[in-house]
């Protein structure tokens, strides 16, 4: 639940991307920092609000997508990990089905301000 765990230097309030970069009802992959210490973030937009998760499946600690920027959305709010088919609820990150059941994606706090997605304060 915290950006600080990932050692990023961007301060609360820093712009992450334009809201327009995320299609309504869709996902967007954001890479922060530079390799090897970069952080991959999954952004999901729905009805004007955005949720952000560390792009890392709690099953095998692999990215949720196999191809850059391409995520497997199921219906309006579920996402399937491309590697071993764990299904997550994008409302809260909980694994609903598959090999990560009982686990959850790591949520990262963000806010939408004036058409920009920004890093919010850690909880």
Partner 1 sequence: MSAAPLNSDPTVQSSPASNRTGYRSFQLGSFGFARDEYFVHVSWPAKGQTLTHTLSADAFLRALMRDVAWGFFYGWVNLDAVIGTRNLYGQVEMYAGRYYPAYRERGLDLTETFDTPQVMATFKAILDDWTNEGFDPFAAPDETGKSWLGIKNGHNRSAIERERQVCKRMPGLPGDAPLRTDASGYPVNRAFQDVPQDEPQVHAEPGFEADVHAFNLFAYLSRSDVTWNPSVSSVCGRSLACPTTEEYILPIKHGNDRVEWFMQLSDEIVWEVEDKITGAPRAKVRMRAGDVAAMPADIRHQGYSAKRSMLLVWENATPGLPEMYESGKLKPYPIEF
Q: Which residues bind partner 1 (CB under 8 A)?
A: 58-63, 65-67, 70, 72, 74, 80-87, 98-99, 101
Shortest distance, position 115 Cβ to partner 1, whole Å: 30
Strand order in the sheet with 116-119: 15-18, 116-119, 110-113
Shortest distance, position 114 Cβ to partner 1, whole Å: 34
**C-alpha closest to that of 52 among 27, 73, 79, 72:** 27
What is d(CA 114, CA 15) in angstroms, rounded to the nearest whole number? 11
Shortest distance, position 107 Cβ to partner 1, whole Å: 18
Our CB check for partner 1 shows the closer of 33 and 98 to be 98
User: Phi/psi at 11 (nearest 5 deg)?
Assistant: -85, 160
Our CB check for partner 1 shows the closer of 100 and 108 to be 100
């Amino acid at each position: 639940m915290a950006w600080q765990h990932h050692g990023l230097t961007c301060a609360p309030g820093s712009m992450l991307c334009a809201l327009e970069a995320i299609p309504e009802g869709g996902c967007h992959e954001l890479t922060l920092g530079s390799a090897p210490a970069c952080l991959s973030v999954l952004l999901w937009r729905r009805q004007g609000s955005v949720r952000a998760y560390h792009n890392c499946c709690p099953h095998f600690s692999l990215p949720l997508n196999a191809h850059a920027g391409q995520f497997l959305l199921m219906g309006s709010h579920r996402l399937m990990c491309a590697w071993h088919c764990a299904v997550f609820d994008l409302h809260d990150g909980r694994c609903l089905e598959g090999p990560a059941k009982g686990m959850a994606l790591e949520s990262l706090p963000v806010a939408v301000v004036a058409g920009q997605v920004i890093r919010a304060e850690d909880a």
